[in-house]
Chain A
Amino acid sequence: MSLKFNIELSYPNFTLDCQHDLNLDGITGILGHSGSGKTSLLRIIAGLNRHATGSISLKDTDLQDSANKHFIKPELRDIGFVFQDARLFPHLNVLGNLEFAAKRCPSSTLTIDEVIELTQIKHLAVQHVELLSAGEKQRVALARALLAEPKLLLLDEPLSALDNKARSAMVNLLRTIHQRLNLPMIYVSHSIIEIQQLADEVLVMENGKIVQHGHVHQVINNLNANISDEFSTQTSLTLKVKQHLINFGLTQLDFEAPSSGQVNLYSNLQPQALNSSLRCYILASDISISREEPAMSSIMNSLAGKITDITRLNKNAALVKVDILNHIFSVNITRYSVERLRLAKDDNVFIQFKASAIRSY
Chain B
Amino acid sequence: MENYNEWLALATTLKLAAITTIILLIIGTPLAWYLSKIKSRFKVLLEALVALPLVLPPTVLGFYLLILFSPTSMPGKFFQDVTGSSLAFSFTGILIGSVIYSLPFVVQPLQKAFEQLGDNLSEAGSMLGAKGLDRFFNITVPMTKASFLTAASLGFAHTVGEFGVVLMIGGNIPGETRVLSIALFDHVEALNYSTAHWLAASLLVASVAMLALIYLLNFQSEKKVKARGII
Contact = CB atoms under 8 A, between A and B. Distances in A.
A87 B128 contact: no
A87 B124 contact: yes
B129 A145 contact: no
Interface residues of B, number: 19
Contact of B127 (A80, A85, A128): A80
A83 interface: yes
Given A75-B131, A131-B231, A87 B126 contact: no
A105 interface: yes
A76 B139 CA distance: 18
Interface string A132-174: 0000000000001101100000000000000000000000000
A231 interface: no
B61 interface: no
Contacts of A101: 128-129
Contacts of B228: 90, 128, 130-131
A85 B130 contact: no
A188 interface: no
B120 A81 contact: no
How would you classify the secondary structure of chain B's contact residues: helix, strand, loop or mixed?
A: helix
Interface in B81-140: 120-121, 123-131, 134, 138-139
B180 to A, nearest CB: 38
B210 to A, nearest CB: 26
A73 interface: yes
Contacts of B127: 46, 48, 74-75, 79-81, 145, 148
A90 B129 CA distance: 18
A83 B56 CA distance: 46
A144 B127 CA distance: 10
Given A87-B121, A89-B121, A144 B128 contact: yes
Contacts of A79: 127
A180 interface: no
B31 interface: no
User: Main secondary structure on chain A at its contact with chain B?
Assistant: mixed
Contacts of B68: none
Contacts of B124: 81, 83, 87-89
Interface of B: 120-121, 123-131, 134, 138-139, 142-143, 228-229, 231
Given A75-B125, A85-B120, A130-B228, 14 more contacts: A46-B127, A73-B131, A74-B126, A75-B131, A87-B120, A89-B121, A89-B125, A100-B128, A100-B138, A101-B129, A104-B134, A130-B229, A131-B228, A145-B127
11 contacts: A48-B127, A75-B125, A75-B126, A75-B127, A75-B130, A81-B123, A87-B120, A87-B123, A89-B124, A100-B125, A148-B128
